[in-house]
Amino acid sequence: MLEPVNIVIFAVTVFVILRAPLNTVNVTGFVLVAVHLLIGGAYWAIKVRQLRARLPRPPLIGAFGWLRRLCEAGLVAGFVILAVSVARGAVGPGSLPGILFYLLAVAEYVNYFHWQLSTQTSADITRVLRTRRLHRSHLCLDMRAHRR
């Protein structure tokens, strides 16, 4: 459930402590990461509810198909914004946080909707070492299992 907390940590660290400029690149990258983290936090909240209430499926799992398309559109729009900023010469060292945020948003998209990139438990690590491949993300598996 740390995803929403990470939004605040990222914002304070980058924009307050490191004093990164609030330029188009930095804000775009940050917003994309924040949206992905909110969606990830929402998924884990409904997954916990499903498990605690012993429900047959996560509540509102159908909404995540729409959210996936929203994330895809956001990443494309973010890429266009970054490309236009580069073309205009508006990207310099002060824009590095935004570029890193954008790359993190792409990684979070893959991590939530496709492949589990994070290995947080010994079981995750053991499975990756044994199979030598990434596992489908929990959200991906739930979306496949509960299609209407």
Print the domain residue range for 21.
Answer: 2-147
Does residue 39 contact residue 71 with C-beta atoms inside 8 Å?
yes
Q: Per residue in 18-73, pLDDT tens? A: 999 999 999 999 999 999 999 999 999 999 999 999 999 999 999 999 999 999 99
Confidence of residue 148 (pLDDT cuts 50, 70, 90): low
DSSP codes of every residue in 24-73: HHHHHHHHHHHHHHHHHHHHHHHHHHHHHHT-SS-TTTTHHHHHHHHHHH
Q: Per residue in 118-132, pLDDT tens? A: 776 787 778 777 888
Please tell me the total count of domains within the chain: 1
pTM above 0.85, yes or no: yes
At 96, give phi and psi (nearest 5°): -55, -40
| CB-count exposure of residue 24 (10 Å: 0-12, 13-18, 19+) | middle
